[in-house]
Amino acid sequence: MDVVFGKHWLSQCFDVKVSIVVLYPVSSAAVVRSRLTGFSSSSPQCADSKVEALCEALLTTVTQWRTRFPIPLPLELYTSSNFIGLFVEEQCAEVLKTFAADFATEAASKADVRVEPHKKQLHVTLAYQFQANHLAALEKLAKGIDINLGCDWVAVLFSRDIRFANHETLRVMYPYAPQNDDELELVPGDFIFMCVMEQTSTSEGWIYGTSLTTGCTGLLPENYIMRADECDTWVFHGSHSFQNAASPRGCDGALDGRLQEEHGPGESPTLSVICQPMQRGLFVCRHGERMDVVFGKHWLSQCFDVKGRYVRSNLNMPASLPQRSGGFRDYDKDAPITVFGSTQARLVGEALLESNTVIEYVYCSPSLRCVQTAHNILRGLQQENSLKIRVEPGLFEWTKWVSGNTLPAWISVADLAAANFSVDTTYRPHIPVSKLTVSEAYETYIGRSYQVTKEILFDCKSKGNNILIVAHASSLEACTRQLQGLPPQNSKDFVQVVRKIPYLGFCASEELGDTGVWQLVDPPILPLTHGPNHTFNWRETLVQD
């Protein structure tokens, strides 16, 4: 652990937390991502060992209140020059305070944690601290919310690191490599905690901060970060619905990809009966570790004899490989993944399963490494027998990167199915292999990736909420950038981005309503990091001449 994640790995994995219980509405209205804070732990520290007991206390309280919680919860719109929000009517606010008191009793009994009701007036914030010229547009949007719509409410348990309670939370926007020993490395997507009291001693344009990921503290350029919500760094522990009747699968996903419904043995999900389709999600993932990269371009000569029989020469090589109609030489341009590559993919699938992420459709590049990766992700999701992979040649990488004057001789879908891969043999590709050209221009590749992604999204518009694309490192950029309404990067900058994407690099985007515009969001799973391991020959190392 310390070699892969650094000497500060303990600060990434162990901390002292304050538990927070939050009430969320789950509906089709624009309030789905707002939060109504009902109460929080007044104890300065809550040990991790008490989290399970707190979850049990929350479930017990919600279960008792499922027939008593006011649904729909009456809300009143309030606007001012710098705030727009929905406030809970006074009578119902008293009901929520009673619910908080009941939870406090359970928390004290089951977890020995003292909980006090929240003192401020209960409300859902829609917008605040906005520019004055945005007031009219925001107010119009707020008035368009039908607050009388039926919706479910869920009680959610989070925790946060008490060490950074009085720090400002910042999000890293651009990478930065330290130039001096006192500087902090910045990785996009990481969070930085900044203590305002310590900033008087820094140089202009530089601040002191602590990385959430590494726990390291140092100087960093101020223009590389932006302000973020503190709740973006909270750790999710569980959520419970107040509705009794079951509803369609996936409605809870509108709340947040991190939220997981906790159920007892045999208990069904209990979400809103009146629930609109949630925002669609698109996940793009790179394939797993390649054989030819790990063992070199001459790996075929290590594993195949003159008769074409395969025998692995390393434990990280698969025990067997699928037969190819063109012979084993076709593996030269279409390499499989390693054993560890399969493990990487399965770990991603298991993480998606644990996060309650529902995948409705899976598309992948025709490259064997992508098919194998998608298959093993489905194994981790426990859906290898129920969800079929759609092999789409239009998702293949930039053909300029293919050596020689011909494209790879990919294994046919029929042969993949015969080799027990979970592929859809009835799928008709949007861009068949015959439409791909060797050494295509950069603009052609970018246009192809954007076109096939749009057509995939259109095909699945009314059929599923979450789509997974398993392809190449370049796909994470090529399949998502123009969906955000952004122009393509130049080829030089594009290559620099692609080089930073590791095996099983994973990104997530979601559609903004029905606008057709998508935005990148935090993935529902953690990143996957591992260290190198070179070939060890005991004879060369240990035997002395």
Residues assigned a catalytic role:
286-287, 472
Residue 285, phi then psi, degrees to nearest 5: -135, 140
Integer CA distances (angstroms), 82 to 30, 284, 334, 440, 510, in order: 19, 38, 58, 52, 28
Distance CA 510, CA 467 (A): 10
Nearest one of 239, 233, 247, 254 to 33, comparing CA atoms: 254
Residue 42 DSSP class: -
Task: Please check whether residue 466 is in contact with residue 359, taking contact to mean a CB–CB distance below 8 angstroms.
Answer: yes
Distance CA 33, CA 2 (A): 37
- CA torsion angle for 393, 399, 403, 407 (degrees, to 10)? 30
Q: Could you give the 3-state DSSP secondary structure of residue 292?
A: helix
Report the amino acid identity of residue 216.
Answer: C
Nearest one of 169, 191, 156 to 35, comparing CA atoms: 156
End-to-end CA distance of the chain: 35
Q: How many CB atoms lie within 10 A of CB 211?
A: 22
Classify strands 389-391 and 235-241 as parallel, antiparallel or unpaired: unpaired
Provide Rg for the chain, Cα atoms: 26
Q: Which two tokens stand for residue 67?
A: 């027939």
Edge-to-edge strands of the sheet including 123-128? 75-79, 83-88, 123-128
Residue 374, phi then psi, degrees to nearest 5: -60, -40
Cα 122 vs. chain centroid, distance in angstroms? 30
Task: For tokens 């009794």, name the residue.
Answer: 244
Task: Please check whether residue 385 is in contact with residue 407, taking contact to mean a CB–CB distance below 8 angstroms.
Answer: no
Integer CA distances (angstroms), 249 to 79, 158, 278, 390, in order: 35, 23, 10, 23
Task: Please check whether residue 208 is in contact with residue 198, taking contact to mean a CB–CB distance below 8 angstroms.
Answer: yes
Q: Could you give the 3-state DSSP secondary structure of residue 382?
A: coil
Give the E-state strand segments of 248-289 in sequence order: 281-286
Task: Please check whether residue 364 is in contact with residue 391, taking contact to mean a CB–CB distance below 8 angstroms.
Answer: yes
Task: For tokens 């493990």, name the residue.
Answer: 343
Edge-to-edge strands of the sheet including 191-194? 217-221, 206-211, 191-194, 168-172, 225-227
Task: For tokens 């793009």, name the residue.
Answer: 284
Q: Which H or E run contains 248? A: none
